[in-house]
Amino acid sequence: MTSLSAPLNVEFDYTRSLGPVLGRFMTGLRDRRIEGVRGDDGRVHVPPVEYDPVTARKLTEWVEVAAAGTVRSWTWVSEPDDGQPLTRPFAWALIQLDGADTSILHAVDVPSSDDIHTGMRVRVRWATDPVGSIHDIACFEPGEAVETQAGQGEAVTMVTTPVRLAYTHTASAEETRYLNGLQEGRLLGQRCPACQKVYIPPRGACPTDGVPTVDEVELPDHGTVTTFCIVNVPFLGQRIAPPYVAAYVLLDGADIAFQHLILGCDASSVRMGMRVKAVWRPRAEWQQSLANIDHFEPSGEADAPFETYSQHL
């Protein structure tokens, strides 16, 4: 059996406070001016550092440097990736700007790896619409600095840095059987060979004994509310109007409860020990998901005695 897998795209736009040092650097870039900071050993750091890398003293002496410099090292990118400065093949380079003693990492726009070498002179190609970010330097290009029209405006205090990472998420073999079972309307757990506890969803290894769980156990779609809460707070994406109940449901024969919704009754009537049964969505909508169970509702049976679930709270 092949394990289920699916694309998992993780994306987040980090908004970062810049503080006085990087804020001034980014403000400079927005105004088409590059500033570094002088360290205790006299070296000028570009990009600026907040504290001296050797003495750890706070650095405050600013030095404007040129928008041109010398390539100190480079490497070639034949297949540019999402978010990089150029969409055609380019070089990454460490560039020592005139007036600086450290190098800045950025892209150099040259047609091929034959068109760049260590020691080559390059200049900044400014972005058309600077905003106060490292992307205000669109890239570097061969040549010497040229006069630019300085911009000006409010100090830059924040930068937004989007992160986009693509993964393939793979379910374990046990999770795959569980998810395939759900598509057929079945609830499949697994039993630990050491402690005999039944886990649903199955976990791959018993969290108590650390041994693989192997025996499959089919469980009924009814059980007991072990604990619950009444949701009264509205939030973004909520699909049910509050108040409603989120509860831990312990299926009969299982040793671990999972969270689900309790509907079909007044929220205030839900209680520990209440017996509930699954309400499935229409069969045509079934997927490899526990969402096939729309919610649980009271089964009408007498409440389960506390001892039957006291070890599962």
Partner 1 sequence: MRDVAVVGFAQAPAVRETHGTTNGVEMLVPVFHEVLGGLGLAKSDIDFWCSGSSDYVAGRAFSFIAAVDAIGAFPPINESHVEADAAWACYEAWVKIQTGEVDVALVYGFGKSSAGKLRRVMTMQLDPYTVAPLWPDSVSVAGLQARAGLDQGIWTEQQMAEVAVRSRADAKSNPLAQVKGDVTVDDLLTRPYLADPLRKHDCAPVTDGAAALVLAAEDRARELAERPAWITGIAHRVDSANLGGRDLTTSPSTVAAARDAGFDKVDVAELHAPFTHQELLLRNALGLNGSRINPSGGALCGNPMFSAGLIRIGEAARQISGGHADRALAHATSGPALQHNLVCLMEGRD
Interface residues toward partner 1, by CB under 8 A: 3, 8, 10, 14, 16, 18, 22, 25-26, 43, 45-47, 49, 53, 72-77, 81-85, 92-94, 96, 102-107, 113, 118, 133-135, 159, 161, 163, 165-173, 175, 203-212
Name the minimum Å distance from CB 123 to partner 1: 17
Residues in contact with 196: Cβ distance below 8 Å, sequence separation at least 6, in sequence order: none
Which residue's CB is nearer to partner 1, number 41 or number 252? 41
Which residue's CB is nearer to partner 1, number 10 or number 155? 10
Contact 279, 295 (CB under 8 A): yes
Name the minimum Å distance from CB 262 to partner 1: 27
Which residue's CB is nearer to partner 1, number 12 or number 306? 12
Name the minimum Å distance from CB 264 to partner 1: 33
Name the minimum Å distance from CB 194 to partner 1: 8
Which residue's CB is nearer to partner 1, number 24 or number 281? 24
Contact 34, 62 (CB under 8 A): no
Q: How far apart are CA 185 and CA 285, in angstroms?
A: 11
Name the minimum Å distance from CB 49 to partner 1: 6
Residue with tokens 């150099």: 108
Which residue's CB is nearer to partner 1, number 175 or number 216? 175
Contact 64, 34 (CB under 8 A): yes
Name the minimum Å distance from CB 214 to partner 1: 12
Could you write out the DSSP letters of every residue in 172-196?
-HHHHHHHHHHHTT-EEEEE-TTT-
Starting from the edge strand earliest in sequence, which strands make up the sheet with 198-199, in order? 198-199, 187-191, 215-219
Which residue's CB is nearer to partner 1, number 155 or number 166? 166
Contact 47, 104 (CB under 8 A): yes
| DSSP tally for the chain: helices H, then strands E | 2, 18
